[in-house]
Amino acid sequence: MSTPAEPATALNISDVVSGPIPPRVTNAAWPNMLHTRIHDVVEKMGPPPWSVRLIQDERNLVTLIANPPGSGNRPHWHKDFDEWWVILAGRLQWELTGGVVIEATRDELIWVPRGTVHHIKNIGDDLSLRMAIAMPPAVHYFHPCEQCGYTDDGPRAFW
């Protein structure tokens, strides 16, 4: 018996507007504030590790993630979207499926296509900050890191 193919991910946008309007959302806190200062987020969140959702709608999940030196994420991959990050502080390393290792620092972008396990670590001596851009529901498929063997089989995360 073969495994049935998974259905393609459908994007269903039911909340549409009919014309130009002033901003209809004026949140005083994240997500979806009109104006966010990264400095304010860092100050409010305090010592790392932490992550905070800054923007969230049917197409966008933007999360600011802080790690102290030596810490990182749980290696995982995504089925139906490519993920990318803007590095705002620190020095980070991406270990990817296939033996690829990338280091990045402030003002750099990393883009990882769907299907590739990404294990991200702060390899610097200071706080790292990265802005992650994903697409909802951003299902995480956890998987051991091919490079370093790190594994964490905790509950599946949706973020």
Q: Which is nearer to Zn ion, 40 or 141 (CB)?
A: 141
Give the residue at shortest CB distance from Zn ion.
83
Q: Which is nearer to Zn ion, 88 or 132 (CB)?
A: 132
The CB-of-83 to Zn ion minimum distance in angstroms stands at 5
Q: Which is nearer to Zn ion, 83 or 95 (CB)?
A: 83
- What does the angle CA 146 – CA 142 – CA 85 come to, to the nearest 5 degrees? 80
The CB-of-20 to Zn ion minimum distance in angstroms stands at 35
Q: Who's near 44: CB < 8 A, 6+ residues apart?
A: none
Q: Which is nearer to Zn ion, 27 or 111 (CB)?
A: 111
Q: Which is nearer to Zn ion, 33 or 60 (CB)?
A: 60
The CB-of-131 to Zn ion minimum distance in angstroms stands at 13
Residues 75-114 that bind Zn ion (CB under 5 A): 83
The residue count for binding Zn ion (CB under 5 A) is 1
Kindly calculate the radius of gyration of the chain based on its CA atoms and give it in whole angstroms: 17
Q: 10 Å Cβ neighbour count for 132?
A: 21
Separation CA 131–CA 63 (nearest Å) = 6
The CB-of-72 to Zn ion minimum distance in angstroms stands at 12
Separation CA 130–CA 108 (nearest Å) = 10
Give the strand order in the sheet containing 76-77: 100-105, 91-96, 118-122, 76-77, 141-142
The CB-of-113 to Zn ion minimum distance in angstroms stands at 11
> Which residues make up the interface to Zn ion (CB under 5 A)?
83
